Structures are given as structure tokens and as C-alpha cells.
Amino acid sequence: MTYLKDLREYMDALDKLGDLRVIDREVDPHLEVGAVIRRVYETKAPAPLFNNLKGSEPGYRLFGAPGGLSSAPGQPLARIALSIGLDADADARKIVETLAEARTRKPIEPVLVETGPVKQNILLGDDASLDRFPTPLLHDGDGGPYVNTWGTIVARTPDGKFTNWSIARIMMIDEKTMTGLVLPGQHINHVWQQWVDIGQPMPFALVQGGPPVLPIVSGMPLATGVEEGGYIGGLLGEPIELVQCETVDLQVPATAEIVIEGHLSIERTAVEGPMGEFAGYVPSHTTMCPVYSIEAITHRDDPIWPTCVEGEPVDEFHTVTGLAAAAEGLAALRAAGLPVTTAWMPFDAATHLLVVSVAPDWRKQLPGVSTGELTQRIHDVIYAQRFTVTVPRLVVLDDDVDTSNVAELMWALATRVHPTKRRILQTAPILPLLACYTLEERHAASAEHVTYDALFPAIDEGREPRASFRYNYPAEIQERVIAHWND
């Protein structure tokens, strides 16, 4: 594996693939930046680097679509693959397998170093202001400019026993304050609540443009008690280097582009949102959230601020959250001893669907177990995971389907999922941003989830073979046809 240690190494790697586009003309952070990045996603164009942002100090740059689908031919997941140390041509199954397998490795804890590039500029007091940075209004209808869409929030429990690195959206209030989602079920809420309980504001550090693996892992729904820093070390085979913050007792990646330090209030006094979100809509509701007060900013020379613009698939929420949730689900199913081969959260379904693939010989591994029984076991494991607040639908399929192939998956779902039978219904917590539920269900943050048993019956129960080139014809016929195809 190749560990890209900072955002600039990552951007150089994209440039070599032809997947980076430098924009030197003046671009307005008010909607125009967001419009460019949205069109990048929707046309699978190279990731844009904005060098000339209206209203920003010279040298302050913005990098868009850092985890979107790549424009490199035959390498659609290159941005994610490179971020986690794989080759650019790694496919969906390889990425999910790599992330899941890393959960079984011994963590390699971060190491503290004396200094790093993020300390090239240290702004304290009144100088620590967002006004000098390009904070964009991303969607028409957003509640304000968004400071954080791809950065990592570092927080630690008051007793110092657990440090969490996570991603949550953060909106600018003014040059010295911000507000953002702190939702039940998230680890940042778990940490914040402990500070609330002792009546003290929570120290935080917001990291922009760290090692490219950082936002990928920060978006993973790791189990309670698992720290992202150690997981990253185990994934990459070496520790990530951290430096001490200036004003709070937290440590951040030494190669980060920008770090914002301060405290998060114990009261929910600020109106946050709305914001265009992963379901593909701009919701109308707002939320009362705590306030981030800024006390220090450190940054590299000519800093680069990475930004994503959520909306209709496919953007970073779908790639990162989809891959990470699939990997976490796969790891949990394997830990339970179930005969599964992979899991996949289709990007085009806006993470509203998880598909689990079952090994061809599962009946030999579980003699006497019916398809319904196996589906129930898979359901029980998956819906014990934290990430299922974003998964209203789970489908269990045989592994003859390439679930990362949208056309093949759509065919399988249409022909193997019974319209009304072979399903499990369960009421469970949901993320209120899920678009498929009623307003009442979203306000209650609870609704029904469904799991479909779409497994083939046994051969002696009427299983029908697939009528396709790959499955219907003898190998020698396939080879002959391919050998003469250009004729």
C-alpha cells in the first residue's frame, strides 16, 4: 500500500491520472463554486482546484469533489482507492474488502511529532478569523456558508479515555463562530454530552485537508470504543503523525492544510441549516445546535480547503458513507460467522439501500437452514450496527450478481425481490434526512425498515439458471466467441 501523507501528494496523484483541473479564473464562492462542483459530479469531470476565489486573500485555494467518482477511464473509484493506499484501478469489492479486513488488524496508534507544515502560520485571538478563507454558499437554499463538508472534527471525552475523529456539517455564523449538527447516535454527540454533563464547553479541533485517508475513515461508522487514529495506522501499516494544538489539549495531523481550534458550547442556541443533502434534496427544516467558538487557526502556506457539495448521487456522501457502511457491515457479518462474500451500498440509491451477497455454498455451510432463516440472521447482525439509521432497505442476494454493476443489480432486484412476501419489517431509529419517509416519521426519527429475502431457492425447489453470456454458455464457447470478437 502507498500512504499519501497529505492533500498535495494526493492531488499530484490525481494530476498524473488526468483527474485534476486547475481553474485560474476568478470564481465566486457564492453559489458559483458549488455549481461547478455539482456539475463535476454529474458529468464525472476532473476534480477542480480553484486558485482565484472572489473575496479571499491571494493564495487561499479551494479543492472540490475530493472523493467523487473519477474521470480516469476504467478507474471510477480512483479517488477513494488512492486515499486509502490502493492502486487507482481498485474496484468496489477490493475497496470494501480492504476496509473490512483492516477492522481485524491490531491498531497502530498515532505518534506525536514536534511540528509540521500545518504550523507554518499560527493565528490567535482576533487574527483567527474565517473572513480570510473562502467559505462558500454551496446550494441555493442553504442556511448559510458551510465551513465544513469534508473536514474532520477532533474531540475527546473529559476523562481523556476516548478520542473521536468524525465528519459532520458545520455552518458559518460569523467570522468567529460556527454551528453544526451534533446528532444522537453519533460519537461526537456521545463525547459532547459528557462535557455537557460536567457543565464545560467541549474543546474541538476542525482539520481541513489532512492525509486523504482521514476523511474516509472519519466518515466510517466504527464501533463504539474504536478510535479512528489507531484504525488508520492498522489500515496503512504505519502511524499517522500528529502535532499538538495551540489552545486546546488535542492533537491533529501534522500535514493538514488548516486547523481551527476552540470550544463547543453546552447549549443548543444556534439555528443550523437547511443544507442540500445526500438524499438529493434541499430540505426546509432547521435544527437548534451548539455553537463552535474559534480561538486559533493554524495553516500551511497557500492553504487548500477541500469541499464537497452533497446532492443527487454520486458525491462524497455516497462514495465514502456507502463504502464505509458496506465494509462495517461485512466485518460484522463475518465476525458473526455468517457465509457472506461482500456487502454493497449502491451509490445511485443515495445510501438508502444495502445489499449483502451470500456465498454460493452457503447451504453446505449451514445445512438445514432456509433462505428466510439466513436472511433473519443477516438482518439481526446488520440492524445492530450504528450505520443502519441511514439504511431503510436491506436486500440479501446470491453472489452471482455483481452488485456494483447498476444494470445487473437493477435486474436482480426487479426479478428476485417479491412485491409483498419474503420480507422482514422492523421499526428502528432513522436519520431524519432520509427522503423516503413521511414528515411525521422524520420528526420522530423512527420508522419501519425492511429486509428482503431475495435468495434463490435450492436447485431441487425450482431454481432457474441465468440466461446470460457469462452463465448460460460453456466456457469453451465463451472463449471462442471472445477470441473471434473483433472479426
Give catalytic residue positions.
277
- Helix runs in 256-355, H state only: 316, 322-335
CA gyration radius, the chain? 23
95 and 323 in contact (C-beta within 8 Å)?
A: yes
Q: Which three cell numbers stand for residue 174?
A: 460569523
Cα 99 vs. chain centroid, distance in angstroms? 12
Q: 81 vs 85, 181, 319, CA distance in Å?
A: 6, 28, 11
Between CA 72 and CA 84, with CA 78 as vertex, the angle to 5 degrees is: 165
User: Which stretches of 254-375 are assigned E, i.e. beta strand?
Assistant: 258-264, 270-272, 287-289, 291-299, 304-307, 340-344, 353-358
The total of other beta-carbon atoms located within 10 Å of residue 450's CB is 13
Whole-angstrom distance, CA of residue 101 vs CA of residue 14: 26
Q: How far apart are CA 393 and CA 369, in angstroms?
A: 23
Is the Cα dihedral 19, 22, 26, 30 positive or negative?
Answer: positive
Taking the C-alpha atoms of residue 245 and residue 135, their distance in angstroms, rounded to an integer, is: 22
Phi and psi angles of residue 109, each rounded to the nearest 5 degrees, phi first:
-70, 150
Tell me the C-alpha distance between 393 and 451, whole Å: 6
